[in-house]
Amino acid sequence: MPGWSCLVTGAGGFLGQRIVQLLVQEKDLKEVRVLDKVFRPETREEFFNLGTSIKMTVLEGDILDTQCLRRACQGISVVIHTAALIDVTGVNPRQTILDVNLKGTQNLLEACVQASVPAFIYCSTVDVAGPNSYKKIILNGHEEQNHESTWSDPYPYSKKMAEKAVLAANGSILKNGGTLHTCALRPMYIYGDRSPFLFNEIIRALKNKGILNATGKFSIANPVYVENVAWAHILAARGLQDPEKSQNIQGQFYYISDDTPHQSYDDLNYTLSKEWGLCLDSSWSLPLPLLYWLAFLLETVSFLLRPFYNYRPPFNCHLVTLSNSKFTFSYKKAQRDLGYEPLVSWEEAKQKTSEWIGTLVEQHRETLDAKSQ
């Protein structure tokens, strides 16, 4: 791998930034190229203040712009593709989600063939495996079980089809006569400091007298800390470039979890924020079957109103199932093929995330104090 280079798409995002921070510590890396639609000024500054001699190239461009992708891929050894539109509630139009997640991935694969990029790592999601029903329990699942999402909702469907495209592209002949090698990583629900989902939950709770929403109390999940997911991508990049390891990795997908205790999503939010006085909503909530049928009813109303009015339900059947299923996976295959071991322990991940939540709580208090003066 002497003098290799890496392009990270979605590099301005929650996971993308962590991947870049770990990449610049890699030996023999000569350039990191970061691509996103828009970078916040503070993100640009962070990239250029990483204290590395590795060349850092910041590119702003659309994943649907084929010319932009072709330029971004020129001279690159490895592409790590994390750019995606994550939307499980239908905020964005279906076609927009399909365009970004599926067509964008297909565009990038084609750009890799044209620019002769030999390695492609796709950040997929556990959503491509399900859960398909809150009644079905899957604990410590693994890759050989062939779990596949049956949802037609745009996010899980687009990610599933994009992953299939990536794995099918393994072995494609590049323009220079070389071969494209691909793999996909399926992280569990990713948490950690700067998580946009956790940020929204905490801000919502602070506006509601410190009471956290109870939306996933029936679940058993194995959340994974963001830095451990980033580390798995680094190991995949190393592995696909290693002639010995690559044979086992090409065309494969891997579940990425860590040693975070299996727990409900509600318990995770509470554990990470209780130090700052936040608590779970203890009021009565609908039984899960009723909640599911209410979601179905709301989706039906939305469908019937669509010709006249764009009604977006506050939750849907997919979200209710996703938030309330017993659905966990082992990282043993990644351990075997990639040499993956979590970089960050549960205790350290919990502390880092809790400290960040503390800064949000402090900022909220300062805002309230300023308004009351």
What pLDDT digit, counting tens, does each position of 16-60 carry?
999 999 999 998 999 999 999 999 999 999 998 998 889 999 999
Q: What is the pLDDT of residues 298-337, one digit of tens each?
A: 999 999 998 999 899 999 999 999 999 999 999 999 999 9
- Once rounded to an integer, what is the mean pLDDT over residues 273-294? 93
Q: What is the pLDDT of residues 164-177, one digit of tens each?
A: 999 999 999 999 99
pTM for this model (two decimals): 0.96
Domain locations along the chain:
4-195+223-259+328-343
- Once rounded to an integer, what is the mean pLDDT over residues 270-291? 93
Is 155 assigned a catalytic role? yes
Confidence of residue 370 (pLDDT cuts 50, 70, 90): confident
| DSSP assignment of 67-79 | HHHHHHHTT-SEE
Looking from the CA of 205 toward its CB, the CA atoms found within 13 Å total 26
- Once rounded to an integer, what is the mean pLDDT over residues 355-366? 94
What would the CATH number be for the domain defined by 4-195+223-259+328-343? 3.40.50.720
181: helix, strand or coil: strand
State percent of the chain over pLDDT 90: 90
Are residues 224 and 260 in contact, defined by beta-carbon separation less than 8 angstroms?
yes
- For helices 41-48 and 14-23, the axis angle rounded to 10 degrees is 10
Given this model, what pLDDT does residue 43 score? 94
Q: What is the pLDDT of residues 68-125, one digit of tens each?
A: 999 999 999 999 999 999 999 889 999 999 999 999 999 999 999 999 999 999 999 9
pLDDT value at 2 more than 70:
no
Please give the Cα distance from 15 to 19 (Å, whole number): 6
Q: What is the pLDDT of residues 182-237, one digit of tens each?
A: 999 999 999 999 999 999 999 999 999 999 998 888 999 999 999 999 999 999 99
Given this model, what pLDDT does residue 215 score? 87
| Residue tagged active-site, from 122, 134, 155, 191 | 155
Please give the Cα distance from 14 to 201 (Å, whole number): 16
Are residues 85 and 97 in contact, defined by beta-carbon separation less than 8 angstroms?
yes
The amino acid sitting at 125 is: T
pLDDT value at 8 more than 90:
yes
